[in-house]
């Protein structure tokens, strides 16, 4: 592990760090008939709203104020969710930058009236930006991973961050080059 992989103890703005556990949050919801798609299973958008809701709570708690969804990527649906499933959406702050936070979300489901173990049905990674009253990005406390799992998630989040930035840069460059060549969309 290099020093760059390690979470800093305090942020660029000198804000003291906050441990991962301080903002870890779970949202639970029983799926009903109004949550279904045309196939009769639960609509992916219903799950995505729960994911965004719980991730927003984590981002707000970690940053100590308002935060907006900047991006949502790698939303994976692993198993169908059914009416009568009790869904638990678990989220934690994996990584922090200057004003952004990556929140990792795991979606678990179990039958609401059976004592069978919950199974993982989905996962997602979202980036939130902490904002001030004018909607401008504001600095966040660095997250302090506490366990080996937290540290692995921090390192993986850094890899995703590098790829997000590289992808944005590459697409911006391609568009500029196409425009310079006079190509129309």
Site stretch for ligand COA (CB under 6 A), options 14-22, 111-119, 124-132, 172-180 = 124-132
CB of 171 to ligand COA, least distance (A): 11
Distance CA 117, CA 99 (A): 38
Q: CB of residue 128 vs ligand COA: minimum separation in angstroms?
A: 8
Q: Is 143 in the site for ligand COA (CB under 6 A)?
A: no
Closest approach of ligand COA to the CB of residue 109, in Å: 26
Is 120 in contact with 80 (CB distance < 8 Å)? Answer: no
Neighbour tally for 137: CB within 10 Å: 16
Cβ atoms of residues 22 and 62 within 8 Å: yes
Count of H-run helices and E-run strands, the chain? 2, 7
Binding mask 73-112 for ligand COA (x = CB under 6 A): ------------------------xxxx------------
- Contact between 100 and 157 under an 8 Å Cβ cutoff? The reply is no
The residues of the shown chain that bind ligand COA, judged by CB under 6 A, are 68-71, 97-100, 127, 129, 131, 135, 137, 164
């Amino acid at each position: 592990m290099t020093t760059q992989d390690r979470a800093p103890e305090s942020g660029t703005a000198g804000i003291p760090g906050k441990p991962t556990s301080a903002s870890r949050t779970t949202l639970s919801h029983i799926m009903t008939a109004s949550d279904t798609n045309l196939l009769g299973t639960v609509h992916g958008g219903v799950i995505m709203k729960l994911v965004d809701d719980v991730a927003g709570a984590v981002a707000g708690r970690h940053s100590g104020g308002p935060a907006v969804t900047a991006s949502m990527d790698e939303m994976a649906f692993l198993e169908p969710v059914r009416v009568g499933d009790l869904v638990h959406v678990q989220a934690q702050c994996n990584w922090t930058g200057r004003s952004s936070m990556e929140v990792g979300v795991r979606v678990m489901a179990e039958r609401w009236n059976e004592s069978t173990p919950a199974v993982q049905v989905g996962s997602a990674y979202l980036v939130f930006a902490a904002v001030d009253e004018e909607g401008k990005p504001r600095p966040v406390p660095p997250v302090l991973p506490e366990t080996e799992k937290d540290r692995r998630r921090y390192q993986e989040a850094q890899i995703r961050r590098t790829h997000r930035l590289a992808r944005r840069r590459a697409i911006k460059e391609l568009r500029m080059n196409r425009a310079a060549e006079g190509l129309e969309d």
